[in-house]
Structure 1
Amino acid sequence: MKKTFLDKKKFRSGGSRRLMALPVLLCLAVLTGCGQKIENKYDVNVGLMRMNSVNTSLTETDHAKGFSVGLALPGETTFNADDISAEAALMVEFGKEDPQAVAYKNPYVRTYPASITKVMSALVCMRHIQDFQQEFTVTENSKISVSGSSMAWLRPGETLTIEDLLYGMLLPSGNDAAVAVAEATCGSVEAFVEEMNRTALEIGATGTHFVNPHGLPDDRHYTTPYDIYLTMNEAMKYEEFRKIVSTVNYSPHYKDSNGMPKTQSWSVTNRFMIGETPVPQGLEVLGGKTGTTNAAGYCLTMGVRKTSTGEEYISTVMKAESKDELYRNMTSMISKTY
């Protein structure tokens, strides 16, 4: 299976493509692919030091040039978000050379990402896989026994394309599909998680640490709203990601364990996209990812576009107390584009 960081067909939407070098990356081995161990593994104190240095040094004219280029840097607490009841939220311009944070509340607070984890899983897969029509046979490792786990209802021995697995992971939020994506990309879940953490550090998401590809609860599995923005900011540059997360319904056609044709139907979990929550007038939802666990609360990150100007934004709401509150908060956030 071919795996490479280079020669990808990516969606480009203006602005600087790459971060400047981060000091924290000096401790890493050269990025060579799945399974390459990080010499010094993630240290939460390093992340906190970086966040504190950014937060305390910001002024109206200081954009922390030593940290990044082409990224927004919100302040530390709350701006234009007094109506947000969720624990944390952040909305940032996407695709601009000097993007600005439109609104935010506690953008650097540690949160549990739940299934928003799968945005990073998709990003890692897309950075490594050239041909999404390659087939992969689901293994026993995709059996998830956790009660209430979201599933794509894949069975060991079934053979699907990697693209189908990405749809199964991102639309119905299949934890089984996430394991299959990990194994198809890096050969094992362990190697894939190493690559998730490496990628997080590379894009500057130093407040993040992963232990699995799907987001099932673990005290060592966490992120921040700002790091979710950094991850979405990278993922939305890939045409394949945008295509998948903008899809409402998808029916994969694949082979069961006996080689016989099989199909099923998957639907996206985003209420805006299935018509259960109205999208504010003048806006188009580009897609994203939901996440829900007891520890994480109700979460959503997604891209939106202003239909009048084509301007795009990444908006994230974390740890709302209910699904209704999540969508009320997100409606309020994306309405601030006017």
Structure 2
Amino acid sequence: MTKLFSDKKKIRSGGGHIHMALPVLLCLLTLSGCGQKLEQKYDADMGLMRMNSINMAMTETSHADGFSVGLALPGETTFNADEITAQAALIVPFGQEDPQPVAYKNPYVRTYPASITKVMSALVCLRHFDDLQQEFTVTKNSDINVSGSSKAWIRPGETLTIEDLLYGMLLPSGNDAAVAIAEATCGSVDAFVDEMNQTALEIGATGTHFVNPHGLPDDNHYTTPYDIYLTMNEVMKYDAFRKIVGTVNYSPSYKDSNGMPKTQNWSVTNRYMLGEVETPEGLKVLGGKTGTTNAAGYCLTMGVQKTSTGEEYISTVMKAETKDELYKNMTNLISKAR
């Protein structure tokens, strides 16, 4: 599969990356409503209008199609999802020219993403690095001492490849690995978060705002189910992401702070992939990302494939009350794709 961004340049440590000319940056800043508090949900048509304006500014000489081409556009409330008990859910086809939503519930409601944040972190990282075998030495900033924080158990002074850090961020959901990814990509967490927010605007995720690369709770860190779909729709175009989230167990080989060989084992958190929850017959789980905090509830976004035809779907459930309810909701949702 060909990457969406085949002409990316390698990112130097300590530096950011600017994707567009100054006029377009000014346009983005204007459209983002900087400093203004967003409402609980945004108007889909207005969001598309805003992003079409950005698209026209970026490609006014190339006669590119509008932003919404190739994207599913669900309504605002509920369609074909009466049995979904979670706060919000959405399932749409992936890779089709004119995808039609299969089912949805409150696709534009503001939700806390928890560790689903790491899907955007992966996208930003993959847009920057051609060579995932580049190495990075973990700093003390990855030593996050927050109660309940998920970890990949990497230590300051240890040296891992970017690929290994992506595995550590996406499989065991390591917040420490997410910080390392941010610093390796943009030089600092703050610069990386700025790029996360810019990338969100570029792909049309106008109901999203990030303050960190991992998803630990913050009132100003939020998204919508539709914006998660937009993010997954981009990152699933990368073979590396598909390989990583489609892996059940991974054992990195890296160097500790003394330069000595070290390894450990990371396992995916997706219950379907662990065999703890049965995948509906006729479907294959391609992988994705879980997220859980008290504020976010139990969340999951993932790609699934219809085995008889090879058709793929992006399915998201947000804010289920329990883990069992999360997977019951997800099973109900992806069964509609059979």
TM range (shorter): 0.7 to 0.9
Query: What residue is the counterpart of 2:114 in the other structure?
Result: 114
- Distance change >3 Å, CA 316–CA 39, structure 1 → 2: closer
Q: Say yes or no: does 1:80 pair with 2:80.
A: yes
- Post-superposition offset of 1:27: 2.0
Q: Deviations over 1:64-117 (max 9, x none)?
A: x85511000000000000000000000000000001110000000000000000
Give the partner amino acid of 1:84: I
Residue 303 of structure 1 corresponds to: 303
- How has the CA–CA distance of structure 1 residues 155 and 54 changed in structure 2, closer, same or farther, with 3 Å as cutoff? closer
The question of whether the paired residues in 1 share the 8 Å contact of 2:74 and 2:101 is answered with: yes
Contact 2:152 2:177 in 1 (8 A): yes
What does 1:237-276 correspond to in 2, within 5 Å?
Answer: 237-276=237-276
Partner in structure 1 of residue 57 of structure 2: none
Q: Is the 8 A contact 1:27 1:40 kept in 2?
A: no
1:312 equivalent in structure 2: 312
Within 2, Cα distance between the matches of 1:25 and 1:229?
Answer: 24
2: distance between equivalents of 1:261 and 1:153?
Answer: 15
The one-letter code matched in structure 2 to 1:218 is D
Task: Report if aligned partners of 1:5, 1:128 keep a CA contact under 8 Å in 2.
Answer: no
Q: Could you tell me whether the CA contact under 8 Å between 1:165 and 1:177 is conserved in 2?
A: yes
1:324 positional shift: 0.1
Listed as ranges, the gaps of 5+ residues in structure 2 are 10-23, 49-64
Relative to structure 1, the CA distance from residue 94 to residue 137 in structure 2 (aligned partners, 3 Å threshold; closer, same or farther) is same
The secondary structure found in structure 2 opposite 1:309 is coil
Contact 2:151 2:172 in 1 (8 A): yes
**For 2:328 and 2:257, how far apart are their aligned partners in 1?**
43
**How do residues 211-222 of structure 1 correspond to structure 2 at under 5 angstroms?**
211-222=211-222
Counterparts of 1:261 and 1:229 in 2: how far apart (Å)? 39
Query: 1:62 aligns to what?
Result: none
Q: 1:44·1:207 contact (CA, 8 Å) conserved in 2?
A: no
CA contact (8 A) 2:285 2:304 kept: yes
User: Corresponding residue for 1:41?
Assistant: 34
Q: Which residue number corresponds to residue 18 of structure 1?
A: none
Task: For residue 8 of structure 1, report the CA deviation from its aligned partner.
Answer: 5.5
5+ long unaligned stretches in structure 1: 10-23, 30-37, 56-64
Q: Scaled by the length of structure 2, what TM-score is found?
A: 0.86
Q: 2 CA distance for matches of 1:263 and 1:42?
A: 44
SS at match of 2:131: coil
The aligned counterpart of 1:186 is 186
- The offset of 1:42, in angstroms, is 6.6
Residues 152 and 54 of structure 1: CA distance in aligned 2, closer, same or farther (over 3 Å) = closer
* Partner Cα distance (2:159, 2:184) in 1: 11
In structure 2, the partner of 1:235 is: 235
Q: Counterpart of 1:101? A: 101
Instruction: Find the counterpart in structure 2 of residue 225 from structure 1.
Output: 225
TM-score by length of 1: 0.86
Cα distance in structure 2, aligned partners of 1:318 and 1:53: 23
The Cα offsets for residues 193-225 of structure 1, whole Å up to 9 and x where unpaired, read as: 000000000000000000000000000000000
- CA distance, structure 2, for counterparts of residue 49 and residue 291 of structure 1: 23
Question: Who is 1:165 aligned against?
Answer: 165
- Please say if residues 32 and 201 of structure 2, whose CA atoms lie closer than 8 Å, have aligned partners that are also in contact: no
Q: Does 1:281 align with 2:274?
A: no
- The aligned length equals 304
Indicate the percent of aligned positions where both proteins have the same amino acid. Answer: 79
Q: Map Cα deviations across residues 110-145 of structure 1 (whole Å, 9 max, x no partner).
A: 000000000000000000111100000000000111
Q: How far off is 1:26 after superposition?
A: 6.1
What pairs with 1:119-130 in structure 2 (closer than 5 Å)?
A: 119-130=119-130
Cα displacement string for residues 309-335 of structure 1 (whole angstroms, at most 9, x for unaligned residues): 000000000000000000000000000
Instruction: Answer yes or no: is the 8 Å Cα contact 2:204–2:230 preserved in 1.
Output: yes
Equivalent position amino acid for 1:174 in 2: G
**Distance in structure 2 (CA, Å) of the matches to 1:42 and 1:189:** 20
C-alpha separation in 2, matches of 1:46 and 1:202: 20
Rounded to whole Å, the distance in 1 between the matches of 2:179 and 2:212 is 8
Distance 2:26 2:333 in 1: 37
